Chain A
């Protein structure tokens, strides 16, 4: 059992490293990948994303599948590499975009989202299962 846990941890670490070893921006789509976080509680899944410089009206959250949501938002102003102090790369960014995998089934029809202090918060109720009677 312990060996299996270690194998699983190594696999998770490898996947995480692979995820890290790519840029957080995409010149072809002019998009930046926002920092995101997923928190699972007993009755809901909370997805948050840090979206600096975005127009709140432009934020969209779409369900792609039962276990995947997409977050997009347009920035109020375009940002280029030079604005970030990098002069040897070319390209400008006008939006944030990311797809966030959900670790447990959710009832997407009852999801709600709000944007506060630059942070998008999407709350998705977890799918209800069946009840087991306690004797």
Chain B
């Protein structure tokens, strides 16, 4: 683990859990989804991430300081979420440290939840969910669960680094990405990735509240989206729109 990033456990986190990452990205899809999971599963704060690579920000909760980047857990799952946009220059070391921690914890599988930006999102009633994975076994599971695989294209940001890190170390990871707005909070897309996750890990998280309270979520997430937009531009997120170069099959 990098000296500049420390994961400090406040409560015991068991080995062999499933780890779900919902970090700020397009449409804040992963962030909204992870908040919903934490709330619905009544997960408790089990660890936090302290790093000089993050801005000097704390979250005040009932007057007490909390790290904006935290891990919530129960005996089956650990969910990593952030209340602030992660500076693009810090994404690499922070993700690497989280993955090293997940490796040391003998994580069963890592799920990274996020959005896949599409320009005409407001025309689409029901966003589709696509998948990618770090290994063939995970791809097979995605296929069996009816999740369409992204055959070719670019991924930028936390999910790109998570899949790559896990592929290099034979760790099992899946990215679940719903069609989403680029610049606007997208609770509907979040509900779609949660429903895909439900199918894969056999849980039953109700997403109706997320849809019903969609407008409130969009209102509450405006400022975080604004900050995240700036970091997305710095990490050249728009690469995901690019068509990969010509190749011969």
Contact = CB atoms under 8 A, between A and B. Distances in A.
B partners with A: yes
Contact of A50 (B123, B184, B216, B223): B184
A90 B182 CA distance: 31
A22 B78 CA distance: 35
B84 to A, nearest CB: 13
A39 interface: yes
Contacts of A1: none
B219 interface: yes
Q: What is the size category of the interface that chain A forms with chain B? A: 20 to 34
B56 interface: no
B186 to A, nearest CB: 10
A60 B227 CA distance: 27
Interface in B186-215: 214-215
Contacts of B223: 24
A115 B185 CA distance: 17
Given A20-B230, A116-B123, A121-B122, A35 B215 contact: no
Q: What is the size category of the interface that chain B forms with chain A? A: 20 to 34
B119 interface: yes
B6 interface: no
B128 interface: no
Given A35-B183, A37-B183, A119-B184, A84 B220 contact: yes
B226 interface: yes
Interface string B76-108: 000000000000000000000000000000000
Given A24-B223, A35-B185, A118-B122, 20 more contacts: A20-B227, A35-B222, A35-B225, A35-B226, A37-B184, A39-B119, A48-B122, A50-B183, A50-B184, A50-B185, A50-B218, A52-B215, A52-B216, A52-B218, A52-B219, A53-B215, A53-B219, A118-B215, A119-B122, A119-B184
A-B pairs with lowest CB-CB distance, top 5: A52-B215, A52-B218, A119-B122, A50-B184, A52-B219
